[in-house]
Every structure is written in C-alpha cells, then in structure tokens.
Amino acid sequence: MFSASLALLGALVYGAADFFGGLAARRLRSIVVTAVSALSGLLALAVAQPLLGGMWSASDVAWGVLAGGFGVIAVALLYACLAIGPMSILSPLTAVVSAIAPMLWGLLVAGETLSPVAYAGLGVALVAVVLVGFIPGETVVRPTTRGLLMAVGAGLAIGGFLIVVDQTSSDSGLVPLVMSRATTVAVTFVIVALLAILAVRRGQGAASVLTPSGATIGATPTGHADLEHASATAATEGVPSLARAWWLAAVCGVVDAAANALMLVALREGDLSIVSALTALYPAGTILLAAIVLRERVAVVQWVGLALALVAGGMLALG
C-alpha cells in the first residue's frame, strides 16, 4: 500500500514537473529546457544525496549512467514522434508502452506475483493511462508507421529507465539518480553547444538556439513529455517572459528530481509492475495544474481517466 501511494504521488509530481517544463518551453527551445532542468535537478540531488546517505559502488554508478542513456533516447524519440503526430494517438500510446514494458519485466522476468485484485488494478490503470493521456480537439488522422515506431520506442525507453533503476541496490541511496541526471546534463549540454556552433557558422548568433523555431514540445530529463502543452499551435496566452522561463525550467528540474526520488523509494518498497503502471499516470498532474493555474478545460474523457486512476491506485494498494 505504501509503495502504491508513493508511486501515485510520484506520478502527480512528474506531471507537475512537466507542467513547469511545458510553460518554459513556450519561450525557450525544448532541448534548452531539458538541459537547464537536468542541471537544476542534478544540483538538487547532489545536495540531498549526502544528507540521505548511500553507498557508491561501480555497479550502481553504471546502472545510473545507463538509466540516463535511456532518458536521453526517450526524449529524442518523443520529440520526433510528437512532431509527426497525431498526438491524440501517439501520446497515450507512449504512456501505455512505458507502463507495459516494465510491468511485463516485473511479472515475467523478475517473477513478481500479484493478487487478483492487483491484476485487475493493472488493467484499470492501463485504461486510465489511455484516457488521461488523450489530447482532445486534435483532428484524428491515421498515424504513420514511423510515428508509431517512434512512440513505441519512446515508451520502451521510458520503461527501460524504470527497469534499470529497479536493478540498483537498496543501500545506494540517490547515487543512481545522481549519475542518471549527470549523464543527461552532459549529453544535453553537448547538443546545445553543437547547435550554437552550427548557428554561428550559419551567420546567426549563438543565442538564437535558445528560442524555439518550430513545435514547442517540453520534456523532463527522464523522458516524460509535456503532452498537454505539446501542440505547436498552442495559444500564446500564458507565454512567460524569458527570465521567468529560465526559472520555470529550473523549477521543473527540481520537481522532477523529487518525483524521481519518490519513484525510487516506491520501487525499493514494492513491485516494479505496480509502480510502472501508476507512474505512467503522470499526465494527470499536468492536466490538473493546467486546469487550476491556466483555467484550461479538462475534457470529459480525461475526467473519466482521472477517476479511474484513483480507482486503480486503490486496487493496487489493496492488492
């Protein structure tokens, strides 16, 4: 019950991080938001790690670096598949795959056993993931094979992050998360630097890489995308100033680091299959904050998904 509660809380916190990141990405380029949030999250984890304790071992460091690699792959594939669209299909597909992959790993590879109520709860959670992640109002078109493969790949990469983190030792504390975030910082800052160099060679200023030139798709360092605010045709209302966007990106990273910590504790206290199903409900936090802060309308289908998420959380906690 404690693990399921932590996982559900972590999902809501992930959604909050995506909300802040999505707002920042309305003013800053997505890769810049990802780099800044990765750095702020790394600093937060680096401060917390000595306070919470944790043994440094070669294996846990390696698992952390691998987890960071999965996160970078997930971000790249998410950018690509959401740019292709349709997001109303590809975004919930990504979320479902990110839940199913570690769920199957936990049940079939790790040998986890659940009660009948918990198995039913997993089914309810998957339905909730689809409904919560659905983006209403978008013209329904047939997704391309390329888009589908990228969405599945993004979901597998997010699921891979959970599977890898679950392999770390219980006495490692936040060490795997610190290394994961350090990997993301290194990769994203290299990408931003290369983009700046290319911009200068084209006769543009290096600062031109900071602002978006196309679709403004926000993402957090672990690979979660801000699906609620990913539309390239999003209204300009609520676009922050440049200074505020930097702060929002930094807040995104700290909140996302907190969500990672909750997820890590949930994994160490419970089953991967349950934690992965509940973590995939992260769009719920984004939707709720968008409704409260930005007064955005929540579709009926999403309200149903939110209700089912609560039901699934209760069933998995009891199971």
Quote the CA–CA distance of 90 and 279 in Å, as a whole number. 18
Q: Shortest CA distance to 54 belongs to which of 178, 226, 208, 216?
A: 178
Joined tokens for residue 74: 């997930």
Quote the CA–CA distance of 237 and 168 in Å, as a whole number. 43
Q: So what's the pLDDT on residue 319?
A: 63
Q: What is the pLDDT of residues 29-42, one digit of tens each?
A: 878 888 899 999 99
Q: Please give the tally of structural domains in the chain.
A: 1
- What pTM value is reported for the model? 0.85
The residues facing 225 across adjacent strands are 219
Q: What is the 3-state secondary structure (H, E, C) of the chain?
A: CHHHHHHHHHHHHHHHHHHHHHHHCCCCCHHHHHHHHHHHHHHHHHHHHHHHCCCCCHHHHHHHHHHHHHHHHHHHHHHHHHHHCCHHHHHHHHHHHHHHHHHHHHHHHCCCCCCHHHHHHHHHHHHHHHHHHCCCCCCCCCCCHHHHHHHHHHHHHHHHHHHHHHCCCHHHCCHHHHHHHHHHHHHHHHHHHHHHHHHHHCCCCHHHHHCCCCCCCCECCCCCECHHHCCCCCCCCCCCCHHHHHHHHHHHHHHHHHHHHHHHHHHHHCCHHHHHHHHCCCHHHHHHHHHHHCCCCCCHHHHHHHHHHHHHHHHHHHC
Per-residue pLDDT tens, the chain, 319 aa: give them: 688 889 989 988 988 888 888 788 778 887 888 889 999 999 999 999 988 888 899 999 999 999 999 988 887 787 777 667 676 677 778 888 888 899 989 988 888 888 888 889 889 988 988 888 776 665 556 778 888 898 899 889 989 999 999 999 989 999 999 999 999 999 999 988 998 898 888 888 777 878 766 555 555 544 555 544 444 334 445 567 888 889 999 999 999 999 999 999 999 988 998 899 888 888 888 788 878 887 777 788 888 888 988 888 888 877 6
**Domain of residue 300, residue span:** 2-318
